[in-house]
Amino acid sequence: MDSAAQERAYGFHAGEVETALLLASVPELVNRSAYTANYIADISKPELLLPENAPATFAWLTRDLAPSGVMGDPRPATAENGTRWLDQAATRLAAALEAMAQFSDPNQP
């Protein structure tokens, strides 16, 4: 996915990707007037503790950092990107399912 680095690192919920997927599939459920952006950390400040995948992390609850529940930035989301990302995911999933269906266990007769 070609979203911004900040979004890729800390867009955990209701950010660009999830909003784009909804805009592509059920746009009537997206309330664009309620968009809010919240990030749990800033990639430009590596000296801070990180929320995950770091030598030192901090404990957090979503409600402490983002009362709206948004952990990312939905504003760049578009239906076009959502459609493209859904298509890419479907293609990768189909390839994985085909590989599983064709798998032959060498330990089985």
Question: Could you tell me the pLDDT band of residue 48, with boundaries at 50, 70 and 90?
Answer: low
**20: exposed, middle or buried (C-beta count within 10 Å: 0-12, 13-18, 19+)?**
buried
The domain in which residue 52 lies consists of 5-83
Taking only the tens place, the pLDDT of each residue in 65-89 is: 888 889 999 999 999 999 999 999 9
Tell me, yes or no, whether 17 lies in a domain. Answer: yes
Q: Can you state the percent helix, strand and coil of the chain, rounding each to 5?
A: 45, 5, 50
What are the counts of helices (DSSP H) followed by strands (DSSP E) for the chain?
A: 4, 0
The structural domain count of the chain equals 1
Tell me, yes or no, whether 66 lies in a domain. Answer: yes
| Structural contact between residues 29 and 97, judged by C-beta atoms closer than 8 angstroms | no
The pLDDT score that the predictor gives to residue 64 is 82
- Report the share of the chain in percent with pLDDT over 90: 61
Tell me, yes or no, whether 54 lies in a domain. Answer: yes
Q: What is the mean pLDDT of residues 2-16?
A: 91
Tell me, yes or no, whether 19 lies in a domain. Answer: yes
Tell me, yes or no, whether 103 lies in a domain. Answer: no
The pLDDT score that the predictor gives to residue 70 is 93
Strand partners, 13: 71
- Compute the half-sphere exposure of residue 10: CA atoms within 13 Å on the CB side of its CA: 20
Tell me, yes or no, whether 52 lies in a domain. Answer: yes
Tell me, yes or no, whether 99 lies in a domain. Answer: no
Tell me, yes or no, whether 90 lies in a domain. Answer: no
